[in-house]
Structure 1
Amino acid sequence: MTGTAGPGPAPASGPEPGLRALGRRETLRERVRDALRAAVISGELEPGAVYSAPALGTRFGVSPTPVREAMLDLAKEGLVVAQPNKGFRITEVSEQDLDDIAAVRLLIEPPTVRDCTALIPEADLPHLRDLAQAIVDAVDRGDLVGYIRADHVFHLALLGYSGNRHLVEVVSGLRSRTRLLGLAPLLHSGRLGRSAAEHHELMDLVEARDATGAEELMRRHIGHVRGLWAGGGKAAP
């Protein structure tokens, strides 16, 4: 989609599921920002397309003001570029950029998950299970934006047990710059549901304190992200 036209009329029932499902303690600006970020990553907002704040506000069931504020936040992250008197253009990411992002994530995330496996308190395991289930629930709803958001929350929560907030911030930024344009076909084929269930497999390994198994599963997961999930049909890096 190109031009300033919005991505479609607002659903009669209100905001999209990806926006409704977000945490209640966040400000409206933060909720809209997170939903828009997820829409960029999943490809629901198309790379290279320009969207106006009023059109996006209609789509998400909010006024243009929090959308405009949220998009300015995303501009600082490099996800969108402001277009004077038009709206915001969704930035495009090259195949080389995606390769480089995946390579850095492979260096950071699998070994961190390995190290965190022994550090997570037993009392926290049910909460992590709930976060894993939220990923599965989003797939069951057919909600790609909600899927991206729930996946983001789960993985950053897991990495948070490293105690290194700088590491978590770096991974958050890398995940935000990833594009998963192949998610929609995977959702319709049912393969995304099987992938979502991998998060419970990861929790099984964490609960068993199988650090090596958790590390290897995380490595495969990132390979999937760079491969078919990115829409390029490539093999894992």
Structure 2
Amino acid sequence: MTDGEPGPFVYTVPARRALADDVHDAVLGLLMDQVIEPGSRASIDGIARRLGVSPTPVREALARLVSDGLVAKKALKGYTAAPLLDSDGLRELFEMRRLLEPYATRSAAGEIDPETLDLLDQLCEDVHRSGEAAQTGEDRFKDYKEFANQDAEFHRLIAAHSGNTLLEDAIVRLRSHMHQYRIYFKHGVVAETLREHEAVVAALRARTPAEAEQAMLDHIDKSYERISEDADYTAA
């Protein structure tokens, strides 16, 4: 499907919960699952009919998704779904991550408090549990949404303790997790991600900035390799 008209998958907003956040999550699912095809028009009326809501919350949801880089708005043309990252776009995204996140992790190593370290440990457990559950699904966004959100929160929490609010904001604004999971979620990624996250937390807990920086750099490099070398992504 190209514009949010009804298709093989059912995306609905629960009755009595047709609020902005619910509609936003539903539209996000349409984009992440490519039901609204990359590069195609995102019809406000078509999406509203699919979800059984008025056009107003759909319009608000699309406006929010512009800031995530998943939707673009063009004068006189309305909203369109952003195209998938090509190989150059993917490389540039990860180059930015390599510049920002290892430094943020190094900066956090001497500042992060025990409570936050415990929270990062919990996030590792949560990522593993939700990721395992996702692998029993259909590789649709509803199946791995929790995993993606927890993965993003892990990185955000470290950036938040870097001592640099501009750096934290830059990392969050990349919205890298949404972009990479839009093109890639594969069985096997969960165990690898868990090991890499645990290495980062161990270095942070040991208060060894250089090791923390290297652990995050290794994680980002391996994440890039998993996507860029995947045959399905190359074909896409």
**TM-score, normalised via structure 2 length:** 0.72
Report the residue type matching 2:150 in the other structure.
A
Cα deviation digits, residues 83-137 of structure 1 (max 9, x gap): 8999742111332222122112111111210221121111222222223333223
Give the number of the structure whose alpha-carbon radius of gyration is greater: 2
Call closer, same or farther: CA 1:171–1:39 in 2, change over 3 Å. farther
Q: Give the percent of matched residue pairs that are identical in Structure 1 and Structure 2.
A: 26
The answer on 1:210 being equivalent to 2:208 is yes
The answer on 1:183 being equivalent to 2:184 is yes
Q: Distance in 2 between matches of 1:230 and 1:70?
A: 30
Q: Distance in 1 between matches of 2:152 and 2:26?
A: 11
Call closer, same or farther: CA 1:121–1:200 in 2, change over 3 Å. same
Structure 2 match to 1:133: 125
Give the drift of 1:216.
Answer: 1.9
Task: Give the alignment partner of residue 72 of structure 2, picking from 65, 69, 81.
Answer: 81
Structure 1 match to 2:103: 111
Cα deviation digits, residues 193-214 of structure 1 (max 9, x gap): 2123132332223222233332
Q: Distance in 2 between matches of 1:225 and 1:62?
A: 38
Cα deviation digits, residues 123-180 of structure 1 (max 9, x gap): 2222222233332232122122222221111111111001222111211222347333
Structure 2 match to 1:21: none
The gaps in structure 2 that reach 5 residues or longer are: 135-142
Structure 2 match to 1:228: 226
Structure 2 match to 1:18: none
3-state SS, counterpart of residue 89 of structure 1: strand
Q: Distance in 2 between matches of 1:61 and 1:127?
A: 38
Taking only aligned residues, the RMSD between alpha carbons, in angstroms, comes to: 3.7
Structure 1 ranges of 4+ moved more than 6 A: 57-63, 83-87
Call closer, same or farther: CA 1:133–1:58 in 2, change over 3 Å. farther
Q: Distance in 2 between matches of 1:35 and 1:57?
A: 10
**TM-score, normalised via structure 1 length:** 0.71
Report the residue type matching 1:179 in the other structure.
Q
3-state SS, counterpart of residue 227 of structure 1: helix
Aligned residues, how many? 218
Structure 2 match to 1:69: 60
